A and B are shown apart, each in its own frame.
Chain A
Amino acid sequence: MKPSPAQDAVLRRAKRVDRFMALLITLGGLGIISAVMGMLLFIGKEAFPLFRGARSEARPAFMAPGALLLDESGKAAAALSPSRGLELLRLPDGAAVRKVEGGPALPWTAVQPFGPRGGALVADGEGRLHGLQVKWSKPAGDPDPAHWDLEAAWSAPLPNPGPGARVLDFRMAEGGGLEGGLVLKAVAATPEGLVRAEAGPGQAEPTWQPFPSPGTITAAAWSQDGGQLSLGTAEGRLRTLDAATGGLLAETTFPEPVTALGWVLGGNALLVGGQRGSLAAYQLLRTGEQPVLQELHRFQPLDGPVRGFRHSLRDKRFLTWGDRDLAVDHLTTERRLLHAWAEGTVHGALSPRGDLLTATDAVGRTRAWSLDAPHPEVSLGALTGKVHYEGYDKPAYVWQSSGGTDDFEPKFSLVPLVFGTLKGTLYAMLFALPLAILGALYTSQFATPRLRNAIKPTVEIMAALPSVVLGFLAGLVMAPLFEKLAMEVLVFPAALLALAALAFPVWTRLPQRFRSLWGSGREVLWAGPLLGAAALLSLGAAPAFERAFLGGDYCHWLLSAQGVTFDQRNSLVVGFAMGFAVIPIIFTLSEDALSSVPKSLTSASLACGASPWQTAWRVVLPTASPGIFSAVMVGLGRAIGETMIVLMATGNTPVLDWSPFNGMRTLSANIAVEIPEAPHHGTLYRVLFLAAFLLFLLTFLLNTAAELVRQRLRRKYESF
C-alpha cells in the first residue's frame, strides 16, 4: 500500500525530526562532555603561566646624559649628570622634556646615582656633597610625560672628603623634629681609611669622622633604618657594624674580593658581588645570642666584576650589572629572569615595577630592555622544595602567602598543604575504615534481612549530611567536648573490650534457644547498650587513669613529657568528623561488593563446616576485596577533597607535624581561605589554581582506579 501524499508528508516530517534530534542530542552530549572535560584544561590553563619563563625584549638604545631614575609608567625618566644637572627625559627616545633648576651651581664634579627611591648625591665644583631627593609630580590622570615634572629637595652639604676619597654609600632620610628637611649620611674610603659624615637640619657644621675598620674597604651599604653599616673588603671579608658605635656585629668571608653591595626590597637581604662575578645574598640573623651573617642564596655569576645593584619596589627581584653583562634575578627562587651583554655599564636602573631596565655606559649610550616576568616568586623548586626565606635560619617548607607589609616575601611551598591533606585523610581513614568495613561485613553477612533493610537507608541518609553541618558540630561542639573528655575517649576502646570480655561468658551460658532467637543476626541491638555501658565505664575510669599515669592533667603531660602542644581543634577531631563523611561512602560501596559475592561460594564454605565468621572472613571478604578496595579509593577521594569540615574543625595552620593533637591546613581549605583575597591572575591566584588542579587530578585518578576495579569485579561475578 502506497502512502497518500498527506501520510507521506507526516512520515517525512517525522524522519526529519528524528534526524534533527539525533544530531542535536549528539552535538549536545558531545558538547556537554567536552565542556566538563574542559574544566581540567581550564584550571590547568589558569595555573600554567606560573611556569612560563620570563620574557624580555631589547628596546631601542638612546643617549642619556648620566644616571637614570625610571618612572613607574616606563614613559619617563629622571637623568642626573655633572654637566647638565637634573633633567626629565621622555622614554623610549630619551629626549629631554625639561630641565629642573635648583641645587648647587653647574658644572658638578661627580654624581652618585639614584637609589630605587630617588635619592642621589652630587659633588659640586668645590667637591662638597649635596644630597638630592627626587619625587615625581604628575597632574592627576594626565598620561602625557610632557606635562610631568620633578620635585627636587636638596640637603645641607657635606664638606669635601679630600683628595683620593671615594664615596661608597650614602643614605637619605626625612629628618624628624620641627625643621623637617633631609638628613644625609655618607661613608667614603680615603687613602687614610674609612670616614663618614652626617648633615641635616639643626645639626652642627658636619665633618668627616674616621670610622676605622680593618682591610681595604671597597663597598659599603647602610641598612634601611640607618642603624647598621655593612662593609665589603678587597680581601674578601664581609662585615656588619653598628653604625652608631662602630662596634662589630657580625663578620664572614666571601670567596672573592667584594666589589659591590646592595639590598633587596625590605632591606633584609644584603646582596654581595665579587671581583670574579660571584653573586650572593646574605642576611644578618639574630636568632642566636650573637648575630651572624649568613648566606641566604647564591645566584648564577656574572662574567666579570660586579659593579652595582638596583632592586624593584614591588617584589624581590633585583638588577645586577658588571663590566660586561647584566642580569635580573629573583631572590627567593634564585631564578634568572634576564641576562644581557652590555659592555662597560656605569649606571644601571630598574623601574619600580621591575619591568623596565636600562644600562648607561661612560659616554651616555643607554640601552633598555623590557622584562615581562609576572610570577618570578614561583618555581617548581620553590613549590616543592625547601627554600631559605628571609629571617629563617635554614631552608624550610613554608606556606605564607601574604604579610602585613609591602616588602613581605611570599612563601609558596605546597608541601605543608599536601602534608596537611594527607594527615587529615590519614586520621579520617584510621577512624572510618574499620567501622565502615566491619559494619558492611556485618550488614551483608550476619544481619537479618529486616535489620538490613533498616540499616542501609539510614546509612545512605548519613551520606547526605551536609559537610557544613558536620564541620560546625566538629568545630564548636566536638572540639571543646573532646578537650574536656580526651582521656575518656581514648580509654573508651579499652573499656569496651573489658566489658565485652565480661559479657561474653554470661552470654554463652544463656540458653541456646534464647541465643539463637535474639542473638544471631541481631547482635547489633545488643551492642548498643554495651557501648553505652562502656561509655559510662570510661567516664568513671578516665580521671583515675589520668591521675595514675599522666599526673592529673593530660595537656600538661603532653607538653612536658612529649613536647606536644594540645590544640582544641586538632587532627583527632577532624578525623572523627571527616570519618562521619567517609563512613557511609565506604560502607555502601563495600556492602554492595560484599553482598554480591555469589551465594554458591558461601554455601560451599558453610557446608564444609566453616563457622559463619570463618566464611565471612576467609571466603567473602577476599572475594569482595577488589570491591572494598574501590570503596576505600572513593572514600579516600572524598576525604582528600573535603573542605568545610577541615576549614571549620582545624585551626588551619600549615604545620608539618604528624601529632594528632594539633591541626593542619589542607589544599582544599587553603583554597577556600585564600582565593577570595587573591587578585585575579596574580601569583597567589595561579598557585591556588595549581592546588585545585592537583586535587582534581588526584581524586580523578583515585576514582578512575576504583571504577575500573569495580567493572572488572562485575564481569568476574557474571561468570558465576
Chain B
Amino acid sequence: MGPTRSPLRRIAEFWRRGSAFVWLSAAALALSLLMITTLVGFIAVKGLGFFWPRALVQATTPEGPVLGEIAAFEPALGEEPAKVQFRVANRDLYGQDFRWFKAADLSARQEPAGAVLVERLENGAFIGFVEVLKQDGQRVAEGDAALAAARARLPEALDLQRGIRAIEKREVGSLNRDMEKLRLQRKALENRPGADTTALDAREAALHKAYDALQARLDGLRGRASALQLTLRTVDGQTKELPLSAVVRLVEPNRLGPLAKAGTYFSRLWEFVSGDPRESNTEGGIFPAIFGTVMMVLIMSVMVVPLGVVTALFLREYAKDGWLVRSVRVAVNNLAGVPSIVFGVFGLGFFVYTLGGAIDRAFYADRLPTPTYGTGGILWASLTLALLTVPVVVVATEEALGAVPRSQREASLALGATKWQTLWKVVLPGATPGILTGLILAMARGAGEVAPLMLTGVVKLAPAMPLDGEFPFFHLDRKFMHLGFHIYDVGFQSPNSEAAKPMVYMTALLLLGVVVLLNLVALRLRRRLRERLGGSAF
C-alpha cells in the first residue's frame, strides 16, 4: 500500500481483491432477510391492528360532512396531492364502505364524543349517532340516554338472537334431515311396486306439523326480537331504523379510555376466533375455517405417519441396498418437489371420482345421482395431503433410523432379540423424535397447502362441520372450510374485497403463525436430536 501507487492501480487492485463483492453479497442477504421480516411484520401489524377501536373523525368537505375512521393516508407524491381514505361504513346507505378525500379539502376536523360505531349482522358497520330507542313503537330514550339504554339491553337482544339462530340451525336442520331420509325411503319404495306408503305418509305429516310448530315459535321469538328498535342518524342527516337484535356491538371509540378499548379489542378478537362468518365471509369469525384446517391436518397426520414410517423402515431396514432401492429412494424424495396441484389432480381423479364413485355405487346407491363420497370431502382432501407429505416423513424417519447408534442395535441383537424386537424396542424409540420432526414438518406443509384442496373438497362456506353431534359424529364425506382457502376466497372472489382485507390479514396471520410455530418446533426438535446424537452427516 505504498503511496507511490497510482490511483488507477489502486482501483484495479480493489476490484481484484473484491471486498466490494463481499459487500454486494451482504446486501443481497440483507435484502432477502429484510423482505421476509417486512412481510411478516406487515401482516402482523395490519392484522392485529384491525380490531383496535379507532377514533371516529368528523370533517367538512366540499361534498358535505363526513364521519368515519381514517383508514389510510397517502402523502403527496409528485403531482398527486395528499389524500385521506375514510372508512365511512353505512354500506346500505352510501353503497360503499370507503371514500377518498384530498387532504386539503378537509376542514373543521373534530372527534365528536357521541359518534358511535354499530356493528350489525347485515350490511357491515354503521357509523353515526344514536337518536332514539323505541320499544313497540314507544320512545324509551333519546340521545345519549338512548345509547346507554341500548347498551344495557343489548345482551338480552343478543341472547334472543342467539336462541333464534340455534333453533334455525339445530332443530330446523334436524327436521330437514329427517325429511331427506323420508324422501330416500320413499324413493326406495317406489321401485318396489305395491309397497305400502301409509306409514311414510303419517310420518311426513307429523314432520310437517312439527315444522309448523317450530315456525310459530320462531315467529314469536322474531317478534320479540324486533320489539326494540334503534333509530340511527348519519352525519349527513339520513336516518336508519334498526332492530336492536340485529346489532352485534355498540362502540363509542371517542369516549373510550385505553382500557375499555383493549376490552373491545379482545372481544372482537374472540369473536373472530370463535364466531361463525357473516356477510359471505367478510365479517364475523373464522371458527369453521380453523376447525376445518385442524381437523384436516389431524386426519392427514393419522394417515401419513404409518405410511411414511413403514416406507422408511422398508427402505432402511428391510430392502436390500441396490440400485433399485436407491432409485426408489430418489424417487420418493423427489415426490416432495412435485407441484401440489398435481397431487390435487390425482386426488380428484383417483380418490374423488374413482374411489368415491365406487363407494357411492356400493353403499349409497339410493342417494345417486347426488354423490356422497363421489365429490370432494375432508377425507379425500386429507388423503391427498397425506400423499403430498409422505416424502417429508419418509426422509425424516430414514434420517432418524440411520442416526440410531449401531452399538445399540448390535447390543440388542447380541442379546438374542429378533430383528423386529430390536426395531420395536430399541431403534424406533430412539428414532421417535426424528419421526415427530417429520410429522410436524408434514403438518406445517399440509396446513399451508391450498391448491390441492381446491380440487378435493374445500368450500367457501360449509353448511355443516365435519364433526358434530349428529350420528355418526365424524362426517368424512362433508366439505370443509380452510384458512388458506379462506384467504384466497375472501381476498379474490369476494364482491367487497376492500372491506374484507383486514379479515384476510388476520386470517393470513393466523395461518402464518400456525405454520411458523410448527416449523420452529420441528427445527428445535431436530437441533436437539442432532446435538444428542453428535451431529450426523445429514
A binds B: yes
Q: Are B492 and A475 in contact (CB under 8 A)?
A: yes
Does A459 sit within 8 A of B, measured CB to CB? yes
* Residue among A14, A464, A469, A527 with max Cβ neighbours from chain B (10 Å): A469
Whole-angstrom distance between the Cβ of B412 and the nearest chain A Cβ: 13
Of B17, B31, B33, B335, the residue contacting A36 (CB under 8 A) is: B335
By secondary structure, the A interface counts as helix
Of B26, B43, B345, the residue contacting A671 (CB under 8 A) is: B345
Which residues of chain B from 486 to 538 have any CB-CB distance to chain A below 8 Å in the complex? 487-488, 491-492, 497, 501, 504, 508, 511-512, 515-516, 518-520, 523
Q: Are B444 and A613 in contact (CB under 8 A)?
A: no
| Bound Cα distance from A545 to B330, whole angstroms | 52
Does B455 sit within 8 A of A, measured CB to CB? yes
Does A321 sit within 8 A of B, measured CB to CB? no
| Bound Cα distance from A699 to B335, whole angstroms | 9
| Chain B 14-51: CB-based contact to A (< 8 A → 1; otherwise 0) | 00111111111111111111111001001100000000
| Bound Cα distance from A439 to B29, whole angstroms | 4
Q: Are A707 and B418 in contact (CB under 8 A)?
A: no
Q: Are A36 and B387 in contact (CB under 8 A)?
A: yes
Given the known A-B contacts A18-B419, A435-B31, A614-B18, are A457 and B338 also in contact in the complex, defined by CB atoms under 8 Å? no
| Chain B 74-90: CB-based contact to A (< 8 A → 1; otherwise 0) | 00011100000000000
Of B339, B348, B387, the residue contacting A668 (CB under 8 A) is: B339
Q: Are A523 and B314 in contact (CB under 8 A)?
A: no
The interface size bin for chain A is 35 or more
Does A703 sit within 8 A of B, measured CB to CB? yes
Which chain A residues border B484 with CB–CB below 8 Å? Answer: 466, 468-469, 644
Q: Are B33 and A458 in contact (CB under 8 A)?
A: yes
User: How many contacts between A and B, using CB within 8 angstroms?
Assistant: 299
| Bound Cα distance from A464 to B29, whole angstroms | 18
| Bound Cα distance from A708 to B315, whole angstroms | 18
Given the known A-B contacts A33-B311, A435-B31, A643-B451, are A527 and B341 also in contact in the complex, defined by CB atoms under 8 Å? no
By beta carbon, the residue of chain B nearest A529 is B30
Which chain B residues border A642 with CB–CB below 8 Å? Answer: 339
Does A702 sit within 8 A of B, measured CB to CB? yes
Of B29, B454, B491, B523, the residue contacting A476 (CB under 8 A) is: B491
Which chain B residues border A680 with CB–CB below 8 Å? Answer: 353
Q: Are B342 and A468 in contact (CB under 8 A)?
A: no
By beta carbon, the residue of chain A nearest B21 is A613
Q: Are B512 and A641 in contact (CB under 8 A)?
A: no
Which chain B residues border A438 with CB–CB below 8 Å? Answer: 24-25, 28-29
By beta carbon, the residue of chain A nearest B504 is A472
Which chain A residues border B447 with CB–CB below 8 Å? Answer: 466
Which residues of chain A from 607 to 665 have any CB-CB distance to chain B below 8 Å in the complex? 611-614, 616-617, 634, 637-638, 640-644, 647-648
By beta carbon, the residue of chain B nearest A15 is B418
Which chain A residues border B519 with CB–CB below 8 Å? Answer: 460-461, 464
The segment from A68-76, A268-276, A279-287, A441-449 that touches chain B is A441-449
Given the known A-B contacts A29-B318, A614-B16, are A469 and B511 also in contact in the complex, defined by CB atoms under 8 Å? yes
Does A720 sit within 8 A of B, measured CB to CB? no
Does B125 sit within 8 A of A, measured CB to CB? no
The segment from A96-104, A309-317, A688-696 that touches chain B is A688-696
Whole-angstrom distance between the Cβ of A431 and the nearest chain B Cβ: 10
Q: Are A699 and B339 in contact (CB under 8 A)?
A: yes
Does A436 sit within 8 A of B, measured CB to CB? yes
Q: Are B26 and A17 in contact (CB under 8 A)?
A: no
| Bound Cα distance from A410 to B295, whole angstroms | 40
By beta carbon, the residue of chain B nearest A20 is B420
Given the known A-B contacts A461-B519, A641-B341, A702-B337, are A32 and B22 also in contact in the complex, defined by CB atoms under 8 Å? no
Whole-angstrom distance between the Cβ of A175 and the nearest chain B Cβ: 40
Q: Are B455 and A672 in contact (CB under 8 A)?
A: yes
Whole-angstrom distance between the Cβ of B315 and the nearest chain A Cβ: 7
Which chain B residues border A469 with CB–CB below 8 Å? Answer: 43, 448, 484, 487, 508, 511-512
Which chain A residues border B21 with CB–CB below 8 Å? Answer: 613, 617
By beta carbon, the residue of chain A nearest B444 is A464
Does A407 sit within 8 A of B, measured CB to CB? no
By beta carbon, the residue of chain A nearest B35 is A580
Q: Are B27 and A527 in contact (CB under 8 A)?
A: yes
Q: Are B497 and A695 in contact (CB under 8 A)?
A: no
Which chain A residues border B516 with CB–CB below 8 Å? Answer: 461, 464
By beta carbon, the residue of chain A nearest B39 is A473
Which chain A residues border B250 with CB–CB below 8 Å? Answer: none
| Chain A 463-480: CB-based contact to B (< 8 A → 1; otherwise 0) | 011111101110111000
Show the binding face of B for A, using Cβ within 8 Å. 16-36, 39, 42-43, 77-79, 307, 310-311, 313-315, 317-319, 328, 330-346, 348-350, 353, 387, 390, 417-421, 423, 444-445, 447-451, 454-455, 484-485, 487-488, 491-492, 497, 501, 504, 508, 511-512, 515-516, 518-520, 523
Closest 9 CB pairs of A and B: A641-B339, A29-B314, A466-B448, A613-B18, A523-B26, A527-B30, A18-B418, A439-B29, A438-B28
Known pairs A28-B311, A37-B331, A643-B339; list 18 more (Cβ under 8 Å). Answer: A18-B419, A22-B419, A442-B29, A457-B520, A462-B32, A464-B516, A466-B447, A527-B31, A530-B30, A617-B21, A641-B340, A643-B340, A643-B341, A647-B488, A648-B491, A689-B345, A689-B349, A707-B330
